Structure 1
Amino acid sequence: MKRSTVAMESLEEEQLADHYKIYVRMFKTVPLDVKRTDTIDQIKSKISAIEGIDKSHQTLFFAGNHLENNDRLADYNIMTNSSVDLYVTDGMQISVSIPSAGKTIKLDVKKSQSIADVKAAIEQKGGIPLNKQILMYGCQQLEDNKLVSQCGLSSGQTLHVLVCPTDRLHISVNIEGGRTVNLDVESWYTIADVKMMIETLEGVPAFNQILMRTQSGAGAELKDTKTLKSLHVENGEVLMSYRSIQLFIKTWEGKTVIMSVKMSGTIKDVMKKIEEKLPLKEGIYYLHYRGRVLSSEDTLQKSKIGSNSTIDIRLRNDCLVS
């Protein structure tokens, strides 16, 4: 009897030492070579070596039971060809200090997220535009394309946000009071660059566009050579785009000046442009087109003035050009 008991114990130990195969189900099924005496922690180590998933982010289940790290496969009667379910959990909470705003916010993030994702969360919760953030951790700047897991950041730790100025702007352009297009631009872009972007998106030739502001300086045409920075165009600002027509303005001396004006503009708008280009003052001249004097309050459309029309400047009697 004693000999039989010893034989059975020897056989059990031999069986426990035998290698066999189980299957771990994740997004895919991964086969593992294991022993019944392996602990759940050892199984997690095997998964980590194959799939690169940190042990601390692994939760294993079998037949609805949560598998504890110190238990063995045998404790759960996990036999050969059994399937174990793996759930990856990488969530953590960090603090984000924003010295310029005098506040600290809490964020729930995942190690699998990128730093760009974290910045987006900071923008949503802290109100700091993503493109104005520099994230610092351990005296190092965190790059947008890095994963949180690659930065050595763990739960409970603190990031610092430096708020920086940026050359990148997001502006909107309203087309003739109708459709609005959104543009991502750089502050050093010229108005001519913006017009070219509108041409690409909307098909309106750049030379047929006039851009104006809706805020400070509203009503003044923005010159092609000016940069957005020199015009103090701000992030989120809305510009107006108008279709323009080309006019030939013939002076009393027989010279011709070419200018572009809003298609929807008035004769007064044309006169303002003339006074910008020529040494003329209001009241000493009038405009003449196809045998009639133009009224300053009339629109170009009402006056039946189209693109490439020629308008004559005529001096009033007894007026001298100063």
Structure 2
Amino acid sequence: MKRRAAMDSHHEQRQSLKIYVKMMKTVTLDVNHTDTVDQIKSKLSAIEGIDKSEQEIFFAGMHLKNEDKLADYSIMTNSSVDLYVTDGVQISVKIPSVGKTIKLNMRKSNSIADVKAEIEQEEGILVNKQILMYAGRQLEDNHMLSQCDLRNDQTLHVLVCPNDEQILTRMQSGVGVALTDSQMLQDQHVKNNDTFLLQQNVQFFVKSWEGKTLTMVLKTSDTGKDIMDRAAERLLIKESLYYLCHGGRVLSPGDTLRMHNVESNSTIYICLRNSGMVEPKTKK
């Protein structure tokens, strides 16, 4: 009896079924009780060319989960299930400036501008400060995700534009005093032949010997020491063991970004001393 029951159970598990899938048209699939919903989606994809990520299947009002089997929902032969085709896509958004990656659920019909709006809502980065990059190219705001060939789990990179605010500083007794935009020059005690220094923020990348990349926003008057201090905090390194290099020249602790013509989105390298590499000489 036990053997007969086991044979009947095995026969029931492998019992062939025929179900009907309702779309704009009805598709007939030959399936088994033990087939998973994901396997059903694969069969539909092979027949109709609909990507599995765009398929949502329902039976008797229930949303069928990919890992579940047809038997879990008591789907019998000649049952009808409903297929809804969506354009949903989940993308990863990497933000190097904060060392963070977020997930966004979007639609392929959404534009790049829509993605930027979601990033602003999630992370507070203003839309007009974002540059979205994918596969080495910048994405235009009016392009749809479908035009960019973005699919599930692919990654966008967000470059945060540096603050374009310019700071005008008056040199007073060797000390720079920032001028206020809303006040007149005479109210800020500006005199004839006073010297002004124009400071501007710039965003750049700092790449370590291990391949890690940091995004920094500093003033053009900031120095190599300022860069190394920030890098030391985030990478937990000893400054005495490393040096900075930009454009093939050493960026010494007292050198400013302006002296080395560090421009927006350029890269400064952290190099390990005595690593077997020839340390470039500082420019005299």
Please report the TM-score for the alignment, with normalisation by the length of structure 1. 0.36
Please report the TM-score for the alignment, with normalisation by the length of structure 2. 0.39
Higher relative contact order (CA 8 A, sep 6+): 2
Larger radius of gyration: 1
